[in-house]
């Protein structure tokens, strides 16, 4: 049986997503629903630096990590180069540490 996850979008990610077209928001919601149901095979996810991962939808990148049964979406941006910017990964690691320290 697959795990059921709770999805948490930080405000910054919500605001980013709300500015996108309805079609793109639909793709993002579909991917989030798949992840919520424990389906990580049907979507494109890349590990950046454990436990930080990125969900890839078209040119959009959503940085997240999983703690217990919660998926924390902590950053979202439009990817303009082949590599994910180091500052995005570093910032995600900082946020991850803060969230984990507060959720022991």
Among 6, 5, 10, CA closest to 75: 10
Q: Can you tell me the distance from the alpha carbon of 66 to that of 104, in angstroms, rounded to the nearest whole number?
A: 13
Give the residues across from 61 on adjacent strands.
Answer: 56, 77
Just give the CATH number of 6-102. Answer: 3.30.2310.20
Q: Would you write out the chain's pLDDT as a tens digit for each of its 104 residues?
A: 567 999 999 999 999 999 999 999 999 999 999 999 999 999 999 999 989 999 999 999 999 999 989 999 999 999 888 788 889 899 999 999 998 898 76
State pTM to two decimals: 0.91
- The 3-state DSSP composition of the chain as helix, strand, coil percent (nearest 5) reads 40, 30, 30
């Amino acid at each position: 049986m697959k795990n059921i996850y709770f999805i948490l979008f930080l405000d910054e990610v919500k605001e980013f997503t709300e500015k996108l077209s309805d079609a793109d928001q639909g793709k993002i919601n579909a991917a989030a629903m798949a992840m919520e149901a424990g389906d990580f095979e049907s979507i494109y996810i890349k590990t950046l630096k454990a436990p930080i991962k990125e969900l890839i939808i078209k040119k959009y990148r959503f940085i997240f990590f999983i703690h217990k049964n919660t998926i924390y979406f902590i950053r979202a941006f439009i990817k303009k180069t082949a590599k994910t910017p180091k500052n995005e990964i570093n910032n995600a690691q900082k946020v991850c540490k803060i969230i984990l320290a507060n959720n022991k």
